[in-house]
């Protein structure tokens, strides 16, 4: 135990490098945990999972700390450290008395903006602190008193001992322990480990063969390979009626809401990038029933290969996304370390309401981590009254304006395909009517009345009004409007005599010169279509372009 500055108290930290409270022998990690352990060695902060909650009511902080300790005692994953074995491979060691780090702060002396700024600093300090997996439990809880009956709770967990389902389990068990003072006996450590079968290896070998090109996201930096993991977030809301339509389409198609939303996301990315083959990192829950009700890394993140086609209906795409997801879940467990997708997609449930001791109201707070491990991630958080869609993006890859636009267009795509699942992907509108009208007005420019005269008429009028005015200057040679017009007229008559008619194409193979301008003007006077050909083209290319000597086509 040690005391830190500003009167903040930190407990549950054991000094020294040796494991303490050893309860059983070293155990191997799952394939997913091994990937996380190796990634932790490169970018440890990216392995932190962070959430914040505001607690309103007469909270007993000591009781809450005891409840956290009870949850840690119940779930073996929270009492596990990870070490490098003799062969360099990571192994897990279960402890009997390892505690989660507990930190308390009091900022009641601050108010208004100053307090919010202090909270933001404390949150980012916790979110940006890496775990020492060899000595620490993979969980930290910080409670900050902000008023007489107001608190902020920061929860930071490491991916190696936590997945998306763990949030609900943690808050439900925390409530039970806070109310009853104790919860049931400790659960066993983890689902049974087993190596991947040949079928799983063969599946991924086939699925990831001929890898897709890296996805180039929209914007000037969309193709940048990130080296800085600083992230930002923006949020949009999907109404309750939209989410009801999502569930209805999922039922009608024998699919899931996750598949419907993932298919809509792939339509959005396809329409923006024109890519027909890309990988989306999608967290999926554990299939092993042994993992239910347990905290730990039991789920997986699968590299799901999306192959949307512009000419297929959304319903057909949904069927393929469903099959891809099911196949991936059926064959998870294979190490996929070399697959690095640029986009991610996940679904979550608003779990704040699960911490509900009598007299305490818990709501999600707005303090978020400022790092991300993919350039663009989309999370749909289900809640009463609809769903929140959160776009998490690397600021070195996407601009805030573009991320906000992507969110808006995702909602438009979703509403369009829900209204008509038979609509082909290439015809799904990204913009709503208001945005389309704005774009049309912005791209139209200032309206003006064009004169009814043709280019030939305009040159002839200038030649009559100012015959000696200079029309063309080239290498010291000056061509007047009279001379230019006369030469063009003679050439136009010759073109017509060759049988060239209105809107026939006339190919011109000339370098930049006065002859080029006069020829183009003559073709226009003859009513034909001027088709410039680059003189730098090789003869073989010209023979391909013009296989015959037709006068027009």
pLDDT at 22 over 70: no
Task: State which fold the 217-350+368-443 domain adopts.
Answer: Chloramphenicol Acetyltransferase (3.30.559)
Q: Where in the chain is the domain with CATH 3.30.559.10?
A: 26-180
Does the structure show a pLDDT above 60 at 190?
no
In the prediction, which pLDDT does 263 show? Answer: 95
In sequence order, which residues have a C-beta less than 8 Å from that of residue 528 and are 6 or more positions away?
495, 500, 501, 502, 503, 504, 505, 506, 552
Q: Which fold has domain 455-543?
A: Rossmann fold (3.40.50)
The order of strands in the sheet holding 343-349 is 231-239, 386-394, 376-383, 343-349, 278-284, 300-306
Which residue ranges does the chain devote to CATH 3.40.50.980? 455-543
Orientation angle between helical segments 455-465 and 514-525, nearest 10 degrees = 110
Q: Which helix (H) or strand (E) holds 492?
A: helix 481-497
Going by C-alpha positions, the residue among 50, 31, 75 that lies closest to residue 295 is 75
| Beta sheet of 150-158, edge-to-edge order | 2-3, 9-11, 101-106, 139-147, 150-158, 48-56, 361-364
Backbone phi and psi for residue 507, each to the nearest 5 degrees, phi listed first: -80, 135
- Greater model confidence, 211 or 105: 105
pLDDT digits (tens, 9 = 90+) for 369-389: 888 878 888 889 888 889 999
**What pLDDT is stored for residue 246 in this prediction?**
95
Instruction: Give the per-residue pLDDT at 348.
Output: 64
Higher pLDDT, 24 or 237: 237
Any residues with CB less than 8 A from the CB of 345 and at least 6 apart, and which? 261, 262, 265, 280, 281, 282, 377, 378, 379
Per CATH, the homologous superfamily of domain 26-180 is Chloramphenicol acetyltransferase-like domain (3.30.559.10)
User: Quick one: which of 509, 550, 501, 507 has its CA closest to 526?
Assistant: 501
In the chain, % of residues over pLDDT 70: 86
Pure H helices in 150-232? 166-180, 198-207
CA 541 to chain centre: 42
Q: By C-alpha distance, which of 537, 488, 489 is closest to 517?
A: 488
Predicted TM-score (pTM) of the model is: 0.66
Indicate if the pLDDT at residue 6 is higher than 70. no
The residue count for the chain:
553
How much is the pLDDT for 1? 26
Within 10 angstroms of residue 309's Cβ, the number of other Cβ atoms is 15
Structure-block tokens of residue 151: 């608190």
At 241-289, the pLDDT tens digits run 999 999 999 999 999 999 999 999 999 999 999 999 998 888 776 666 6
**372 CB-contact burial (10 Å; exposed 0-12 / middle 13-18 / buried 19+):** buried
- Look over the chain and give the mean of its residue pLDDT values, rounded to a whole number: 84
Residue 477: φ, ψ to 5°: -95, 130
pLDDT higher than 60, residue 322: yes
Indicate the pLDDT class of residue 2, thresholds 50, 70 and 90. very low
* Per-residue confidence band for 525, with pLDDT thresholds at 50, 70 and 90: very high
């Amino acid at each position: 135990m040690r005391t830190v500055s500003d009167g903040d108290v930190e407990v549950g930290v054991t000094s020294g490098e040796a494991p303490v409270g050893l309860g059983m022998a070293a155990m191997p990690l799952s394939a997913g945990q091994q990937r996380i352990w190796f990634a932790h060695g490169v970018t440890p902060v990216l392995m932190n999972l962070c959430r914040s909650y505001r607690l309103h009511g007469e909270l007993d902080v000591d009781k809450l700390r005891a409840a956290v300790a009870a949850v840690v005692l119940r779930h073996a994953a929270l009492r596990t450290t990870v070490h490098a074995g003799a062969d360099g491979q990571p192994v897990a060691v279960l402890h009997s008395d390892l505690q989660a780090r507990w930190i308390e702060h009091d900022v009641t002396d601050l108010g208004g903006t100053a307090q919010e700024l202090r909270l933001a600093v404390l949150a980012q300090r916790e979110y940006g602190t890496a775990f020492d997996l060899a000595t620490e439990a993979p969980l930290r809880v910080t409670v900050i008193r902000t008023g007489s009956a107001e608190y902020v709770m920061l929860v930071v967990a490491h991916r190696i001992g936590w997945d998306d389902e763990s949030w609900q389990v943690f808050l439900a068990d925390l409530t039970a322990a806070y109310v009853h003072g104790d919860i049931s006996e400790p659960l066993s450590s983890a689902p049974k480990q087993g190596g991947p079968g040949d079928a799983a290896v063969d599946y991924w070998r086939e699925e990831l063969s001929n890898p897709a090109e890296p996805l180039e996201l929209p914007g000037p930096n969309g193709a940048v390979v990130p080296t800085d993991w600083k992230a930002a977030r923006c949020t949009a809301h999907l109404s309750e009626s939209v989410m009801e339509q999502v569930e209805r389409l999922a039922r009608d198609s024998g699919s899931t809401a996750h598949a419907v939303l993932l298919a809509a996301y792939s339509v959005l990315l396809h329409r923006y990038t024109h890519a027909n083959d890309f990988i989306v990192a999608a967290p999926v829950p554990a299939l092993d029933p042994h993992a239910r009700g347990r905290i730990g890394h039991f789920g997986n993140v699968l590299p799901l290969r999306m192959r949307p086609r512009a000419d297929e209906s959304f319903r057909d795409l949904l069927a393929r996304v469903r099959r891809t997801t099911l196949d991936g879940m059926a064959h998870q467990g294979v190490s996929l370390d070399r697959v690095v997708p640029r986009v991610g997609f996940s679904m979550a449930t608003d779990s704040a309401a699960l911490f509900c001791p009598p007299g305490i109201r818990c709501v999600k707070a707005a303090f978020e981590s400022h790092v991300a491990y993919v350039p663009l991630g989309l999370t749909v958080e289900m809640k009463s009254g609809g769903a929140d869609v959160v776009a998490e993006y690397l600021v070195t890859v996407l601009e805030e304006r573009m991320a906000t636009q992507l969110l808006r267009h995702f909602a438009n795509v979703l509403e369009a395909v829900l209204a008509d699942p038979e609509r082909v992907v290439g015809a799904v509108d990204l913009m709503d009517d208001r945005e389309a009208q704005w774009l049309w007005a912005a791209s139209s420019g200032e309206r003006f009345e064009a004169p009814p005269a043709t280019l030939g008429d305009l040159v002839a009028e200038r030649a009559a009004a100012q015959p000696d005015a200079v029309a063309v200057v080239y290498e010291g040679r000056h061509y007047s409007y009279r001379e230019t017009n006369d030469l063009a007229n003679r050439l136009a008559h010759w073109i017509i005599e060759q049988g060239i008619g209105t809107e026939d194409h006339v190919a011109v193979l000339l370098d930049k010169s006065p002859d080029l301008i006069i020829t183009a003007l003559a073709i226009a006077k003859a009513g034909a279509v001027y088709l410039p050909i680059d003189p730098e083209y090789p003869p073989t290319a010209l023979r391909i372009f013009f296989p015959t000597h037709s006068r027009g086509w």
